[in-house]
Amino acid sequence: GCLISNTSIGKFCSVGAGVKTGLGSHPVSDFISTHPAFYSLRKQSGKTFAKKQHFQEQTRTLIGHDVWIGANAVILDGITIGNGAVIAAGAVVTKQVAPFEIVGGIPAKHIRFRFSPDEIHQIEASAWWHKDEDWLKANAESFLHSADFFKNIQS
């Protein structure tokens, strides 16, 4: 039930039902009409009056590694979601989301960070999402408690 287009998604992401991203956008400033027949050559409604493309309708959305996107969230075009972020169910994401940031609401707002700045740096530096399957299996238990994980990656 998701609609995902023009979006790059990292490894180990969890995407809830009904998530939408890469939907495109319409001009809301200066243009008299928001209808694509006036600015787009794509003929979304079967015709166009434009002689050239006047508006960039789609911008790639980037979703990092280990991101959890709750059910029915909407992520607007051109947004970058950092590694380890959490997007609450039903959120409408209109701004960039930092690594390990939790956001929610309409429009989505900062709720808190999952870890301290130093811990975020350690997790990012570990780049565990690029480790091979043998490493992940051998270290899976340390993913259950952050203190164990931080101790494990420092040794």
Catalytic site positions:
26
Q: Which of 69, 114, 113, 112 is nearest to 92 (CA)?
A: 69
| Furthest-apart CA atoms within the chain: distance in Å | 64
As a whole number of angstroms, the distance between CA 74 and CA 56 comes to 19
- Cα separation, 81 vs 62, in Å, equals 6
The strand pairing partners of 61, in sequence order, are 7
Task: Please state, in angstroms and rounded to a whole number, the distance separating the CA atoms of residues 71 and 15.
Answer: 7
